[in-house]
Structure 1
Amino acid sequence: MTALGFLYPGHSAEDDYPRIEQLLGSDVRVDLVHTDIGEDAHRVDALREMGSPERLEAGLAELRLAGAEAVVWACTSGSFVHGWDGAHEQVRGLALAAGMPASSTSFAFVHAIREIEVRRVAVGATYPDDVAQLFADFLRAGGAEVTGVRSSGIVTAAEVGTWGERELFALARAADSPDAEALLLPDTALHTVAHIPALEKELGKPVLTANQVTVREGLRLADRRVNAPELGALFTREPVVQA
């Protein structure tokens, strides 16, 4: 049994995680601990505070008791707002405090882009424009070419958590562009897991979503590969064979 630990801010789309666990269909356990988000606002100062060491470390004891082998900070905006170097420092501190490998959703997106071997990506973000642009900057620092960013201007995770299929597909269609090799939908407050195959079929390209890539990152840290077609192209590719 591989046990993966996730620190999830507040309560919005956490039901994506048991759904993913079920779809993995293997001996993988997904353990989720909720962190205190403080002020629920897609604003840079509030997001930096949300991902502060004190707030993250508060949930680690529970994950250790659950036997987690790796931990991922399941928040995109609460990591990339620190910038490339600051986000690295955040996960290094988390790994030291946890005593296990650690990462975050922002790095999960970078690693997922590399995993599916694409470079040009479009972004459909629920965030206000200034926060969405910080995510694009983070992706560029990780080597991606961002073909365009569509922002929805939503201020709170609570509102994002109320979005259903109609709003999700509208954002995806508006954000996609013909020159993008994949579409990225950040924000772990957004319910996406039930819709990934349909999104990929409609757009004709891989779709990477926050909760999906977060779990894939936990598997990467634990050195596990699981084939799960219902979780999209990210979970169906064969490993690259090094020459």
Structure 2
Amino acid sequence: MYRQLEHQFRAMITDGLLAAGATLPAERKLALDLGISRKTVQQCYDALRQQRLVSAHGRNGYIVEDGFRRIKPGMERLKGFTEEMQELGRVPSTRILERAVGEDRSIASIFGLSSTARFLRLVRVRLGDGIPLSVEKAWYDVGIAPGLAEADLSGSIYARLLECGAPLVDCEQTIEAASPEPQECAVFGFSEPLPCLLIKRRSYGADGRMIEYVEGLFRGDSYAYRLRLRA
């Protein structure tokens, strides 16, 4: 029962029906109005708090957090997470979980290279206004951009690639539904797996060679991609 209530509140918050700063109904009153136990309401509110959708303020109750409206980025051109957040008026930041250079036969196959090709493997959490929005696993061909291996990767990778003389000019991208793994739930603050968007991207340089392969898991409760189609 509390999960159903949680999903309804989360939808209202992420769609902007409950604006930042709004106070959720008092536990006792909501329980009485809905004919459910107060414990059910408490479990719901606690789940919302763990997801950073609301914060507890003692006698003032639970208040909707600022900056958690659903993000609606466009997909009309190639751009990275940092640029996307800046365009939406959010402050981007990054937490690096893994970073290593080595060989990977399956990734080499995706790039169409020999099994001895070397790649920079980078796993990062991408945040907007301090809220974890995606877990990104990426591989880069260090044969094309060797300077990337030692570069500062806490910001925009695309800016670093430009500095290395290997700007991205084209990409192929797919979006599919996915369920987060336990470690990804921990990053997002989910108490149970919630629907996410898995975005896979293959990006290419001006000479047509593939430079980047990314698998980014984006939280489905905060992203709604938009496309403009013309006849």
Question: Structure 1 length normalisation: TM-score?
Answer: 0.28
Rg larger in structure? 2
Higher relative contact order (Cα pairs below 8 Å, separated by 6+ residues) = 1
Structure (1/2) with the larger strand percentage: 2
Structure (1/2) with the larger helix percentage: 1
